[in-house]
Amino acid sequence: MSSLAIQLPDPLPKLPEIPSADIRKQVFAHSTSLTFSAAELKSPPQSNERLEFLGDSYLNFCVTNIVFREFPTLAPGELTALRAGVVSNANLKTWARAYNLHEQLVLGLSMQHLQIPEKAEKVIADVFEAYIGGVILSNPDGRKEIEEFLEGLLQPVLEMRRKTLKGAVKVDKTSVGRMYEEATLRKRKASFAFGDSGCQGAEDRWEAILEWDGKEVGRAKARNQQEAKHRASALALKSLDDGELGK
């Protein structure tokens, strides 16, 4: 089952800076990369684990604050599900890669076989949180800068949530059948893949990706797989009507 991917804003908000060279070095130091001499035993070099702890806590606080303010009608359980979907490892990895943070990671020999960034989702997610911690620790205005940064980064997912709550994306229960008819007429093979955020009860828990002959033609989110399929199919049919898909 594929991961639920978050949409990135265009353009990306500017990444806050880390003025301290020592803290920046620590942000990208995985624990396996550390070596130190006997003389350093009392004060050994630090990996990014403590910064990750700080960044994780502040990230959750900021996202909680943002979704609490943006969605005043959501119940606590719905807010919790929304926050969990936003701060998933898959999304943190997407953000880290968008800013090329993964390319600056320093790993020990025992970790290099993981072929960063392909197979180490958690390691890459951790460096995003460590970077947040590094900004907070090395900049007197770091907390404010991080909150403003996250506000910009979250705009696409917030907008998608607003549309879902307002019913802007209607469910046409004939969409899947009509889409299959169009695919057959055009001699295309239609198939669906699904991403699951794992957020029980969330209105955008499932994402359906519709492909024709292996090419993506529609993607949408909903509470369950069937609704997501209908919405993705409706988007593909609209693209056909608009002439955006080849005959």
Note whether 231 and 221 are within 8 A (CB).
yes
Q: At what angle do helices 142-153 and 49-70 cross, to 10 degrees?
A: 60
Mean pLDDT, rounded, for 174-200: 89
Mean pLDDT, rounded, for 7-14: 90
Check pLDDT > 80 for residue 188. Answer: yes
pLDDT at 241: 78
Nearest to 136 by CA among 152, 122, 150: 150
pLDDT at 120: 67
pLDDT at 240: 84
Structural tokens at position 169: 């994306």
Distance CA 163, CA 147 (A): 23
pLDDT greater at residue 98 or residue 164: 98
Q: Band of the pLDDT at 105, cuts 50, 70, 90?
A: confident
Distance CA 152, CA 156 (A): 9
pLDDT at 199: 67
Q: Band of the pLDDT at 181, cuts 50, 70, 90?
A: very high
Phi, psi of 181 (to 5 degrees): -60, -45
Distance CA 238, CA 247 (A): 13
Distance CA 53, CA 103 (A): 21
Distance CA 45, CA 25 (A): 10
pLDDT at 48: 85
Q: Band of the pLDDT at 81, cuts 50, 70, 90?
A: confident
5 burial level (CB within 10 Å; 0-12, 13-18, 19+): middle
Check pLDDT > 50 for residue 194. Answer: yes
pLDDT at 202: 67
pLDDT at 16: 96
Q: Where are the domains of the chain?
A: 21-166, 175-241
pLDDT by residue (tens digit) across 208-233?
999 999 999 988 888 789 989 998 99
Mean pLDDT, rounded, for 1-28: 81
pLDDT at 239: 85
Phi, psi of 204 (to 5 degrees): -120, 35
Note whether 83 and 65 are within 8 A (CB).
no
pLDDT by residue (tens digit) across 122-174?
888 999 999 999 999 999 999 999 999 999 999 988 887 787 666 545 678 89
Q: What letters, b where the CB count within 10 A reaches 16 and e where it falls short, cover 106-138?
A: ebeeebeeeebbeebbebbbbbbbbbbbbbbbb
Question: Are both 21-166 and 175-241 of the same fold?
Answer: no
Output the CATH code of domain 21-166.
1.10.1520.10
pLDDT at 32: 65
DSSP character at residue 32: G
CATH topology of domain 175-241: Double Stranded RNA Binding Domain (3.30.160)
